[in-house]
A and B are shown apart, each in its own frame.
Chain A
Amino acid sequence: DVKVTQSSRYLVKRTGEKVFLECVQDMDHENMFWYRQDPGLGLRLIYFSYDVKMKEKGDIPEGYSVSREKKERFSLILESASTNQTSMYLCASTSRARSYEQYFGPGTRLTVT
């Protein structure tokens, strides 16, 4: 059974803290993605990675960075969390061979106070 896992389902952080969100997939997928989901806006792409150590900005990269040191792991970093980064964060992965299907993790609901 294919699996994308995220390190936390719920997270509460203070303004200014550095926040790490971890995503791990066990499907040997080349591509990994980070989205944020806000009511009325759907999902918006923050960053994606198509290979180890490679990354590309999505539509809303400001305030975020990413790291992909291993193929199975893709981390999203909030260097200095702000209240407007309170959101649901979803990680996804896909293979190049079966490119039409993205597998999603369960999501991390982050609250920044």
Chain B
Amino acid sequence: AQKITQTQPGMFVQEKEAVTLDCTYDTSDQSYGLFWYKQPSSGEMIFLIYQGSYDEQNATEGRYSLNFQKARKSANLVISASQLGDSAMYFCAMREGGSGGYNKLIFGAGTRLAVHP
């Protein structure tokens, strides 16, 4: 069965430093997608970054990058130069199956990140 594991319930980082949030996944599909979402205290889910299983390059979006290691089935999120506004809950998610279709997502339990000044 497909599964997402986030082993860090909470993390803290000093402002301006980089932080890595861990995510491992389990799937027997050859084609899948991995996502990271941010959920601030206000509750809305904000899409951060996406990595397809066939993408050769690691995805990057501004200060966010996804460290995709297919053989280890890991998809860690790296946030460079942390800002106070990065304090939030972060969820790793996986899309079942290939592109298109219904795109059901399976979510991990989340990691709460606190950025300290």
Chain A interfacial positions (CB closer than 8 Å to B): 9, 31, 33, 35, 40-45, 48, 50, 56, 58, 88, 90, 92, 94, 96, 99-107, 109
A100 and B99 contact, CB distance less than 8 A: yes
Instruction: Report how far A105 CA is from B43 CA in the complex, Å.
Output: 9
* Chain A binding surface SS class: strand
Instruction: Chain B residues near A48: list those with CB within 8 A.
Output: 102, 104
B105 and A102 contact, CB distance less than 8 A: yes
Q: Assess A43 versus B91: contact at CB under 8 Å? Given A104-B45, A106-B42, A106-B43.
A: yes
Instruction: Chain A residues near B99: list those with CB within 8 A.
Output: 99-100
Nearest CB in chain A: distance from B35 CB, A = 7
Closest 3 CB pairs of A and B: A104-B45, A42-B107, A43-B107
A31 and B103 contact, CB distance less than 8 A: yes
Query: In the complex, which of the residues A44, A56, A88 contacts B102, with contact meaning CB atoms closer than 8 Å?
Result: A56
Shortest Cβ distance from B99 into A: residue:
A99
B102 and A45 contact, CB distance less than 8 A: no
Q: Assess A100 versus B107: contact at CB under 8 Å? Given A43-B91, A106-B44.
A: no
Query: In the complex, which of the residues A41, A45, A88 contacts B105, with contact meaning CB atoms closer than 8 Å?
Result: A45
6 more contacts with CB within 8 A, not counting A58-B104, A101-B47, are A9-B43, A31-B102, A45-B106, A48-B104, A90-B45, A100-B50
Nearest CB in chain A: distance from B60 CB, A = 15
Instruction: Report how far A48 CA is from B45 CA in the complex, Å.
Output: 17
A99 and B101 contact, CB distance less than 8 A: yes
Instruction: Chain B residues near A58: list those with CB within 8 A.
Output: 104
Instruction: Chain A residues near B46: list those with CB within 8 A.
Output: 104
Instruction: Chain A residues near B100: list those with CB within 8 A.
Output: 96, 99
- One digit per residue, 1 when the CB lies within 8 angstroms of any chain A CB and 0 when it does not, for chain B 64-100 equals 0000000000000000000000000001010100011
Nearest CB in chain A: distance from B86 CB, A = 18
Nearest CB in chain A: distance from B34 CB, A = 10
Nearest CB in chain A: distance from B22 CB, A = 14
Nearest CB in chain A: distance from B12 CB, A = 18
